[in-house]
Structure 1
Amino acid sequence: MYPSSKSETDRLTLLAHRDLGSEQVWYVLASFHFVVGCFQWGSSIHSKFARRRRLEPDEETASNHIHHKHEYPLCRVPLAFVDFYRVAAFRWTLEIGQIYTINMAEVFITLAHIALTPALTVSQPDRDRSKLPHPFWNSRVAVVAISQFPILTVLGTKNNLVSLITGISYDRLNSIHRMMARACFVLLLIHSVSEAYNYPHFGSTLDKGWLRVNMVAFSILIIVSLRPIRSDAYELFPYTHFPAVLIFLIGGYYHTSASNLSVWVWPSFVFWAFDRFVHVVRLVAFNHSHFGFKSGSGAMDATAELLSENVVRLRCCRSQHFHWSPGQSAYLTMPSVLTLPFEAHPFTIVSVDSSLFSTTAPEYPSESDANKDIQASASSAPHWKELVFLITMQKGFTKKLKAVAARRGQVKVFIDGPHGQSPDLNSYDACVLVTGGCGVSYTLPVFLSVIERVRNGERSCSRVVFIWSIREAAHVQWIEETPIKAVQLAPSFDSIYSYLHHWFGSDVATSKDNTAFSLPDSVEKNGIHKPSDASLAELSSLGTVGSIKVHHGRPNLDALLKEEINMASGRMSVTVCGSHGICKHAGLLDPLRFPVCGPSNILNEGPSVTLYVASFGYA
C-alpha cells in the first residue's frame, strides 16, 4: 500500500514502474534462451553438414586415404575459438568441498543471475531513486521474484519448451531451476522483512494462517533441496516438493490477487498441468494393456533379476510404438513396490531400439567355429526386443525391488518415456566411450548405435574405443554377450575399427588367478547369478574376441585419452557416464583441458574434441 498523500496519477505511475521490473526480467531471460537456442541449433545444423561432407569425400581423399587435412592455420582459427570456449566453459571446474563440482558455464550463469536480480530491482532510469517511497521498493522486490515463477516452473518439468529451444535436457535444467528458486526465496525473504520493518500492522497480516504457512513451506523446500540432504535422504525431497510447492503457489495466488499480480502465479499451474497431461497420455499410450485397451493381461509385467548384491536387471516387453534413442531414459512406476503408487523414478534404457542385433548371425561370415559358437550364444541375449534397465540398489523402493528380484518375481510396471537427449555422434571421426559400473547403461547403447550407423553408411567413424571399469569380475555378466555380438557385427573394412576395452578394477582385491571372466555355467546362490569359479578362465567368451582386451586394475584414463587424441584427426568425441566420482576424475578431465586440447592443438591440425558427460547420482 502506498501513502494516501500521493495523488492517483502518482500512484498509477508508481505501479507502472513497479511492474516494469517483471517485464525486464522476461526480456533478459527470453534473450538469453534465444541466444542459447541459436547456438544449439546452429551447432546441430553444422554437425549435419559436416557429416554429409565426410560421407561424400572427394576422389583424391578417397583414393589416397588421407585423414589429415593440411589446411592453413588461418582456416582453423574459428574452430580454435570454439574449442577454447568448450574447454574454458565446460572442462574447467570449481569444487566446493566434496559435494559440489560445477563448471565455469554454471558459475557464469549463477553469477549473472545474482547480478541481474538486484540490477533489475533498482533500475529506474527516468526517476530519482531517492524520492521513491519505501513501499515501492518493497513491492518491486516481490514483483521481480514472482515474475520468475512461470519460467521457474517450466524449468522443473520434464516436458517443456525450454528444452526444445535450447537443446538442453530437462535433467540438466534442474540445476538452473534450483538456483532460480533460491534467488526468488532470498527476494521474498527481503520483501517480508522489509514489510515487517516498515509497517507495524504487518504482524496482524501474518496472523492469517495461509500466509504464514506459505513462507514456511517455501523455507522447508529450500532446505530439503540442498544436495547433502538430498543425498542422505533422497526420497524425502520428492515427498516434500509437491505439497510444499502447491501450498506456496496457492498462498501466493491469494496474496498477489489484491495487487493484481496473480497473473505471474496462475501460469505455473497451467505449465504443471500440461506436463502432467503429457505424462498421463504417455502412460496410457505405452501401457495400454493395463488400461483395458488390449486383450490379455501381464503384457507390461516386468521380470526382476538380481545380478549382484546391489544391481537388479529389470526386463519388460515394450509396446510396439514405443521407440527411443541410445542414452535416453524412462520413468518407471511400480505401484506394488513404491511407497506412493504414483511415484516415478528415472532409469536409463540399456536395450537398443534396433532390429540389427536381433539377427542370429552377422552378415560377415565367421572363419572359425569359435566365432560361430559366440554368435549362437550371443543371439540368446535378452537385450534386443525388450526394455532392459540396470538398477543400483539404494535405500527406499530399490531395497524393496531387491526382495522381488531375489525370487525372480514379476512386478507391474508403468512406463513413461523416453526422456532425455541422445548424444549426436554422427559427425565424428573417432569416438571414445568411458563408463564405470552401471554407467554402461548409457554408453553401451551409444556404442551399438555407432556400429549400426557405420554399417548402414550413415556415418564415417573410423575408430571406436569402449572403456568400462567395474568393481567385481562377476559384473561382466550384466552385458557380456552384448559387446561380443556387436564386435562380430562391426564392419571389417576401413570405415570402422572396433576397439573394445574392458577394465576390471576397484578398491577391492581381485584374485590373481582370474585372468578372464565368463558367464557360462552360472550357479544360483541367494537368488544371485554367479559364474562358476572352475570355469571362469577357460570359458570366458570375452577372451576369444581379439578386439576386446581385459585388464586388471583401474584404467589410466589420462594416458588412454592422450593416446587417442594423438592418434585422432578431424572431430573426436569423448562420452562419459558414471557416478560423480568418475566424471570429475582428474585423469579424465586433464587430457581434455589445456594444453592437450585447445587452440594450439587445433592450429597444429589436432582433433577437435567434444565432451559429453552423463553423470548419474541420487540427488
Structure 2
Amino acid sequence: DLTLFRDENTKYPEQVWYTLAAFLFVIGCFQWGLFLHSKFARRGHHEFDEETTTTNGVHKKFSLRRIPLAVINFYRVVAFRWTLEIGQSYTLNMAEVFVTVAYIILLLIYAFINTTSVEGQTLDITYWSNRIAMLASSQFPIVTALGTKNNPVSLVTGISYDKLNYIHRMTARTCFMLLWVHGAGHIVSDPYEPFLRAGVTAMVAFSILIIVSLRPVRSNIYEVFFYVHFLGVLIFLMGGYYHTKGAHGSYWIWPSFVFWAFDRFIRAVRLVVFNHSYFGFKSGTGTMDAATEMLSENVVRLRLRRPQHFHWSPGQTAYLIMPSVSTLPFEAHPFTIASFDSSLLSTPSAEDQSSAEVTGSSAPFWKELVFLVNVQGGFTKKLKEVAAKKEAIKVFVDGPYGPSPDLGSYDTCVLVAGGSGVSYTLPVFLNIIERVRKGKSSCTRVVFIWSIRGAEYVQWIEEALINAVQLAPPSLAISIRIFITASSSNTKAIPERTVVRKNSLSLSFLSLRGVRTENGRADLDTLLKEEVDVTSGRMSVGVCGSQGIARAVRHALRFPVSGPSSILSGGPSVTLHVESFGYA
C-alpha cells in the first residue's frame, strides 16, 4: 500500500502535466493557424464577400455558405464577450471562467481518486493530503513561467505574456487553496514535525502574496506589491523546497528558479543593449534622458530617444525604470508606447527639434518613444512632481513587450479609447494609414473614437492626427469622433502658452476630413451597430480604456449585432481586442 501510495504521488502530477501540455499544444495550433490565416486572408476574401453584398455595402440575402463563419463568430461572442462581473474590480470572460473551472476540476479529480485505504476508509486523509501537496508543487514551474515576460508558454501558444497573466494568477490561487487543504490536514494529524517549519514559513509568505496580489491592493499600492511579490515568491519557493525535500518533491520546485533566472537574464541583456550609454559603452548619456511635461492635471508625457536598433510595433508596451523617481532603484512600471516607429511619416523640421521647449501637440509622435502616464498615486504621483518642474530624468527602457494587432486583412477598423488609452489606439491608427499607403492593407475605412474629459486633451495628439490624415490616401475613409464628457465649467485650466499653441491648430484639426466633436458620452452601442450595418467582409474593433469602456464595447458586440443571424445575412465577421490598462 505504501508503494502504491508513493507511485500515485509521482504518477498523477505527471499525468496532470501531460493533460496541460496537450491543451497548450491544441491552443498553440489554433493560434498559429489563425495567424497564418490572417496573413493569407487578404488575398482572396473580397471575392467571397462580393457575393453577399451590393456595391454600396448594403447586405444582401441570407447565405448558407457563411455558416462556418457564423459558427466562429458565435464562439467569439460566447467565449470573449459574455462576461462574469465580480464587484467593480473583476471581469472574467467565459473563456477565462471555463479554463478556471476546468483547471480546478482537473486537479481535484487527481487529488481525490483512489483515496480509499486498504482498511476500506474512503477519502483517507493520508492519501489525499499528501497527494494534494504533490499536485500543487508540480504546478509551481508553470505558475512561475506564466508570470515572466519571456516564457515558453507564449512561444508555444502565440499568446502574449499579458494575456497569460490571468492564468498565472488563477493557477497560483488554485495552488494556494490546495496547499492550505494539505497544511490543515497535517497540522491536525501531527503538528510537531520539524519539517513543518519550512512549510509554515512558505505558506505565510504565500498568504501575504495572495493578499497583495488582489487587484484593488495591487493597483493602489503597486510599489508594495512589486517588492512583496519578489520577496514573497523567493521565501515561498525556498521554504517549499526544504519542506518537500524529504518527500522527494523538490524536483518540481527548482525549475521555477530556472524560468525566473532565464527571464531576468533576457531582461538584463535588453536593458544593456537598449540603454547602452547609461552603462558606459558609448558617449551621449544625456541624450537618452526623458523630457517630462504635464499635459493636464493628471497626465504626464515622457519623451525619450533610443538607438536606431530599438524597434517597436503599435500597441506594444515597455517597462520603465526611473531610479530618481521610484522608491527603490529598480522598480519597473509598464506603460503603452504612444509613439509610432515609422519611416514613412515625416519628422518635424530641424528648427522644431532644436526648440528649447516643445509644448502641446508639437511633439513628434513617430520618431521617438512617447509615454502618456495617468497620475494616480505612489510612483506616478512622484513623477507628476518632477514633470511640474519639466525636469529631465534618467529612464531605463525594458521592452518592447506584447503583440501588435495585424489588421492588414480587415476592411473596417474601429479604434475606441478613453483618456490615456489613446496611447494604444493612436499608433495603431497611424500604422493603418501607413500600411494602406504602402498597399499592404485592404482596409477601406478606419474609425477613431476617443472619449476625453476636456477639449484641451485633443492637443496631446492633434499634430499626429493632422499629419496622418493629410497623408492618408483618398481611398481610405476616415472618421474621427471626439467625445468631450466634462462641461466647460468643470474643465481645469492649462498653461496659457499651451492654450495659444492649441488654438492655433484647432481650425486645422476641425477642418480635417472626417473629424467630428461632440459633448457627452459616446453611445458605443449605437456607434458600433452603425459600423456593422454599413460594413461587409471583416471588421476589427480595438479598445483601450477603463473597465467601463471595455464592458460597453463587449456589450455592443454581443448578439444580435455580431451574432450568427447577422453573419448569415452578409454582415461582417467582427473580432474584438481589449487592451487593458497597465496594472501599475
Q: After TM superposition, is the score higher than 0.5? A: yes
Q: Which moved more, 1:93-102 or 1:175-184?
A: 93-102
Q: Which residue of 1 aligns with 2:9?
A: 18
Q: How far off is 1:228 after superposition?
A: 2.4
Q: How far off is 1:207 after superposition?
A: 7.1
Q: How far off is 1:572 after superposition?
A: 0.4
Give the distance between the partners of 2:131 and 2:505, measured in 1 at CA. Answer: 75
Which amino acid counterpart does residue 510 of structure 1 have in structure 2?
Answer: S
Task: Find out whether 1:580 has 2:547 as its counterpart.
Answer: yes
Task: Find out whether 1:346 has 2:334 as its counterpart.
Answer: yes
* Residues 137-148 of structure 1 aligned to structure 2 (within 5 Å): 137-148=128-139
Give the distance between the partners of 2:443 and 2:299, measured in 1 at CA. Answer: 33
Give the distance between the partners of 2:136 and 2:306, measured in 1 at CA. Answer: 44
Q: How far off is 1:241 after superposition?
A: 0.5
Give the distance between the partners of 1:443 and 1:132, measured in 2 at CA. Answer: 54
Q: How far off is 1:217 after superposition?
A: 0.6
Give the distance between the partners of 1:478 and 1:329, measured in 2 at CA. Answer: 19
TM-score (norm 2): 0.92
Q: How far off is 1:409 after superposition?
A: 0.7
Structure having greater relative contact order (Cα 8 Å, sep ≥ 6):
2
Q: Which residue of 2 aligns with 1:265?
A: 253
1:372-403 CA-partner distances (Å, limit 9, x unpaired): xxxxx999542221100000111111111111
Q: Which residue of 2 aligns with 1:185?
A: 176
Q: Which moved more, 1:289-298 or 1:389-398?
A: 289-298
Which amino acid counterpart does residue 32 of structure 1 have in structure 2?
Answer: F
User: Against the structure 1 CA distance between its residues 211 and 458, is the aligned structure 2 distance closer, same or farther, given a 3 Å change threshold?
Assistant: same
Q: How far off is 1:137 after superposition?
A: 2.3
Q: Which residue of 1 aligns with 2:409?
A: 427
Q: Which residue of 2 aligns with 1:480?
A: 462
User: Against the structure 1 CA distance between its residues 286 and 112, is the aligned structure 2 distance closer, same or farther, given a 3 Å change threshold?
Assistant: same
User: Against the structure 1 CA distance between its residues 260 and 413, is the aligned structure 2 distance closer, same or farther, given a 3 Å change threshold?
Assistant: same
Q: Which residue of 2 aligns with 1:498?
A: 478
Which amino acid counterpart does residue 531 of structure 1 have in structure 2?
Answer: V
User: Against the structure 1 CA distance between its residues 540 and 125, is the aligned structure 2 distance closer, same or farther, given a 3 Å change threshold?
Assistant: same
Structure 2 segments unaligned to the other structure (5+ residues)? 350-358
The answer as to whether partners of 1:206 and 1:212 remain within 8 angstroms in 2 is no
Give the distance between the partners of 2:489 and 2:260, measured in 1 at CA. Answer: 53
* Aligned counterpart in structure 2 of residue 34 of structure 1, from 25, 32, 39: 25
The answer as to whether partners of 2:360 and 2:460 remain within 8 angstroms in 1 is no
User: Against the structure 1 CA distance between its residues 505 and 351, is the aligned structure 2 distance closer, same or farther, given a 3 Å change threshold?
Assistant: same
Q: Which residue of 1 aligns with 2:299?
A: 311
Task: Find out whether 1:412 has 2:412 as its counterpart.
Answer: no
TM-score (norm 1): 0.87
Q: Which residue of 1 aligns with 2:356?
A: none
Q: Which residue of 1 aligns with 2:428?
A: 446
Which amino acid counterpart does residue 385 of structure 2 have in structure 1?
Answer: A
The answer as to whether partners of 1:54 and 1:460 remain within 8 angstroms in 2 is no
Q: How far off is 1:231 after superposition?
A: 3.2
Q: How far off is 1:591 after superposition?
A: 2.8
Q: How far off is 1:606 after superposition?
A: 0.7
Task: Find out whether 1:402 has 2:384 as its counterpart.
Answer: yes
Q: Which residue of 1 aligns with 2:524?
A: 557
Which amino acid counterpart does residue 419 of structure 1 have in structure 2?
Answer: Y
Q: How far off is 1:221 after superposition?
A: 0.8
* Aligned counterpart in structure 1 of residue 570 of structure 2, from 590, 605, 618: 605
Q: Which residue of 1 aligns with 2:157?
A: 166
User: Against the structure 1 CA distance between its residues 66 and 125, is the aligned structure 2 distance closer, same or farther, given a 3 Å change threshold?
Assistant: farther
* Residues 4-153 of structure 1 aligned to structure 2 (within 5 Å): 10-54=1-45, 73-124=63-114, 130=121, 134-153=125-144
Give the distance between the partners of 1:270 and 1:300, measured in 2 at CA. Answer: 32
Which amino acid counterpart does residue 148 of structure 1 have in structure 2?
Answer: Q
Partner secondary structure for residue 314 of structure 1: strand
Give the distance between the partners of 1:231 and 1:566, measured in 2 at CA. Answer: 39
Which amino acid counterpart does residue 499 of structure 2 have in structure 1?
Answer: P
1:498-540 CA-partner distances (Å, limit 9, x unpaired): 222222223xx2269x9xxxxxxx9846xxx64149x849953
Q: Which residue of 2 aligns with 1:590?
A: 555
The answer as to whether partners of 1:330 and 1:347 remain within 8 angstroms in 2 is yes
Give the distance between the partners of 1:607 and 1:131, measured in 2 at CA. Answer: 56
Which amino acid counterpart does residue 225 of structure 2 have in structure 1?
Answer: F
Give the distance between the partners of 1:271 and 1:28, measured in 2 at CA. Answer: 21
The answer as to whether partners of 2:45 and 2:537 remain within 8 angstroms in 1 is no
Q: Which residue of 2 aligns with 1:223?
A: 211
Give the distance between the partners of 2:219 and 2:515, measured in 1 at CA. Answer: 36
Corresponding residue pairs, total: 570
Q: Which moved more, 1:217-226 or 1:70-79?
A: 70-79
User: Against the structure 1 CA distance between its residues 437 and 139, is the aligned structure 2 distance closer, same or farther, given a 3 Å change threshold?
Assistant: same
Q: Which residue of 2 aligns with 1:4?
A: none
1:118-151 CA-partner distances (Å, limit 9, x unpaired): 1011234999784786433221111110000000
The answer as to whether partners of 1:503 and 1:553 remain within 8 angstroms in 2 is yes
User: Against the structure 1 CA distance between its residues 538 and 72, is the aligned structure 2 distance closer, same or farther, given a 3 Å change threshold?
Assistant: closer
Q: Which residue of 2 aligns with 1:541?
A: 508
Give the distance between the partners of 1:14 and 1:396, measured in 2 at CA. Answer: 51
Which amino acid counterpart does residue 600 of structure 1 have in structure 2?
Answer: S
Q: Which residue of 1 aligns with 2:352?
A: none
Q: Which moved more, 1:166-175 or 1:402-411?
A: 166-175
The answer as to whether partners of 1:360 and 1:379 remain within 8 angstroms in 2 is no
Structure 1 segments unaligned to the other structure (5+ residues)? 1-9, 362-376, 515-521
Q: Which residue of 1 aligns with 2:310?
A: 322
Which amino acid counterpart does residue 165 of structure 2 have in structure 1?
Answer: N
Give the distance between the partners of 1:104 and 1:595, measured in 2 at CA. Answer: 18
Q: Which residue of 1 aligns with 2:450?
A: 468
